[in-house]
Amino acid sequence: MTNPTGTPGAASTPGTSGPATLLRTAAELTGLAPREGVRAVVMTMGALHEGHATLIRAARAAVGPGGRVVVTVFVNPLQFGEAADLERYPRTLDADLAVAGAAGADAVFAPSVDEVYPGGEPQVRIAAGPMGERLEGASRPGHFDGMLTVVAKLLHLTRPDLAFFGQKDAQQLALIRRMVRDLNFPVEIAGVATVREPDGLALSSRNRFLDPAERHTALALSRALFAARDRLAAQQALHARATATSATTGRAAALTALGEARLAADAQAVALARPDGAAAAVRTAARQILDDAAAAQPPLALDYLALVDPADFTEIPDDRTTGEALLAVAARVGRTRLIDNIPLTLGATP
């Protein structure tokens, strides 16, 4: 920990001092002075922004002033399919130390590739299984195997009681939770809601690669998700009204005959609101905005739009009427690939 002047020392309040202590080796990590409190880890690939800071603050709040928060900064080569993408990933360690310390981290563990994989690429890896082959896994083969392998290693090295991950990487979060449960890791996984820019764009280290025109196009991702959320709410509100009033198409026809066109249209919408149309309505609302963005300049190149079960990331059929869902999207704008998602509840009472 550093004191408010930025020199090594014991600070009275974690997160109000200068940069967090930098640790480069597993030996240095092991050599941290023991504490009696709860230990938390926030795993990152660096280029820290407000989204990461939110995770760190959540970790600090969870462990309290007597606990320890370690942030890991490691650009994991096993997660990159192309060498160019690995080299292009931003590396800003000095700034990361400042962000981590200000948000409440005691230390930043930033090991080299040789420190994490001393014998070269590991021969034995964690397999993500069928869930890891869907959506992001289908677009980036092997990505989740590499992610789970390094998360497992970092959990062993940092030995936390709690580990914090962002909801923006929802499939990653779900797989980590499954790995911890299936393999009996003694750690609790905490998810933190996606942090967004004022214009709605999900915070990401990759956003810095977007020029102004590309950023404008990229806003279609969040707008599509919000439109789908609003369409679902409207659909469910109409269904609730239909259930409460026993609306019929006959009432709509009668209103039309009386010249009450607006009331007639409203009555027709209520009458046709069906619970089994919610999933299709969600997909349609999002797709309309993404299709428009595909024709923009610069265009948005859609990778996938999927309404899935958050438990296993299988597609939700159009006729499902209740349950938790996740609407996920991935697309490229220029050379930059972005992902986003939003949780939804089918059949919720407005």
Residues annotated as catalytic are 52
> Crossing angle for the helix pair 249-257 and 261-272, nearest 10 degrees?
170
**DSSP H or E stretch at residue 189:** strand 188-192
Q: What is the dihedral of CA 47, 53, 55, 57, to 10 degrees?
A: 150
The amino acid sitting at 323 is G
Q: Which run of H or E residues covers position 113?
A: helix 113-116
As separate numbers, helices (DSSP H) first and strands (DSSP E) second, the chain gives 12, 9
Backbone angles phi, psi at 194, to 5 degrees: -60, 135
C-alpha span between 236 and 276 (Å, rounded): 10
Candidates 140, 204, 150, 147; CA nearest to 175 is 147
Distance CA 274, CA 271 (A): 8
Phi, psi of 158 (to 5 degrees): -90, -20
Exposed/middle/buried for residue 97 (C-beta within 10 Å: 0-12, 13-18, 19+):
buried
User: How would you classify residue 82: left for phi > 0, otherwise alpha for psi between -120 and 50, otherwise beta?
Assistant: beta
Q: Contact 337/206 with Cβ under 8 angstroms? A: yes
Residue 50 is encoded by which pair of tokens?
A: 């407000």
Q: Return the SS3 of 269.
A: helix
Q: Distances from the Cα of 129 to the Cαs of 133, 134, 177, in angstroms?
A: 7, 10, 13
